[in-house]
Amino acid sequence: MIPFNIPAITGKETDYIKEAIALNHLSGDGIFTKKCSDWFESRLHVKRALMTTSCTHSLEMCAILADIGDGDEVIMPSFTFVSTANAFVLRGAKVVFVDIDPLTMNMDLKEVVRAITSKTKAIIPVHYAGNSCDMDKLMNIAEHYNLLVIEDAAQAIMSEYHNKPLGTIGHLGCISFHETKNLNCGEGGALLINDSRFIDRAEIIREKGTNRSKFYRGEVDKYSWVDIGSSYLMSELNAAFLYAQLINAETITYNRINNWNLYHELFHEYSLNDYIELPMIPTYNKPNGHMYYIKTTHLVERTELIQYLRANGVYSVFHYVPLHSSPLGRKYGFFSGEDQYTTRESERILRLPLFYGMSANDVKYISEMVNRYYKFVRSTS
């Protein structure tokens, strides 16, 4: 059986967790949390990186930082994970969903421009599969209309747009360390602050609305409740685990990209691109091998292929029921423009197993099974 995902483990995780235990500091903002933030600040040149409990919580912090209130509108793709929308709905926002470009599965920027109104506060690009939205274009649009850009870079660690790491280009960026992501600590996240006017307030929101961080740095002589907030700090145990992954970020990413490339080559060799659509990486994007997906002709074929793979020991999965057609999406949002691609493409996409340490033989076996399905099994009726 080849599972869809196995969380990455580098070997150092337990040593670092033992070190954290020996230091008698297990709550947030100890030595390992500092090491993780420093990694982002020195390696990715982020102004300030705050380690959080999840990407979902980083997005919630962004909604507070953006002062989202009742009736404000935020623009995002409908083809995304629920957290992208939930974080803003929790603050009273109306979510304006826009269509995707079928080639990249990312938000169509022409539709973004059309969706902007006097109530729009922020645009939330999602870098699907770790592939970048066209960030120069998007930042120009945002600047022209005076809007915030909050990158949902949950899947995008180590990916770059024109040599800039994803998550470091918008005013704010959110990263996930959920076990299904390239680098993980079970559950965890980071808030990347690229516009320094948000730094002080973000520290307060993350510390339950108190100015405790300033107190620990000796900048105030007592700490107090000064803003709304919650407990968004990553525990030291998770930070210790995560640090082992961050210092191996290149190795993990390189390994995933190799397997991604192998899938891609094999599907070309089998001429499977006559039957299915293969992913396309935009030229401005340096990818991170987060996900290998293919697109079947339609939903029925996809269901049949998932079953065929399962019967042959391979777990593949589909992705995202579009948010605008879900019960809560209908209640708190609406689709701007025409749903030309979101529903159609979401019914065709199929994700194949891809994880750190996956063997080339597994990739070969899976590709061969997909090949057999198309050449010998598929019902063409």
Ligand X SMILES: *Cc1c(COP(=O)(O)O)cnc(C)c1O
The footprint of ligand X (CB under 6 A) covers 54-56, 80-81, 83-84, 126, 152, 154-155, 176, 178, 189
d(CA 350, CA 367): 13
- Compute the Cα dihedral for 233, 235, 240, 245 and give only its sign: negative
Nearest-angstrom CA–CA distance, 61 and 59: 5
Q: Which is nearer to ligand X, 155 or 235 (CB)?
A: 155
In the complex with ligand X, which residue's Cβ is closer, 155 or 245? Answer: 155
Residue in this structure with the two tokens 């019967």, named with its chain if needed:
311
Nearer to ligand X, 102 or 220 (CB): 102
* Nearest distance from C-beta of residue 308 to ligand X, angstroms: 26
Q: How far is the CB of 301 from ligand X (least distance, A)?
A: 25
Beta carbon of residue 166, minimum distance to ligand X (angstroms, whole number): 12
Distances (CA, A) of 44 to 131, 206, 244, 293, 322: 17, 21, 17, 27, 32
Nearest to ligand X of 154, 314 (CB atom): 154
224 residue type, one letter: S
CB of 226 to ligand X, least distance (A): 26
Q: Count the neighbouring beta carbons within 10 Å of the beta carbon of residue 304.
A: 15
CB of 291 within 8 A of CB of 155? yes
What span, in angstroms and rounded, lies between the C-alpha atoms of 244 and 85?
31
Residue closer to ligand X (CB basis): 80 or 367: 80
Say which DSSP state 85 is in: H
Q: Report the nearest approach of ligand X to the CB of residue 62 (Å).
A: 12
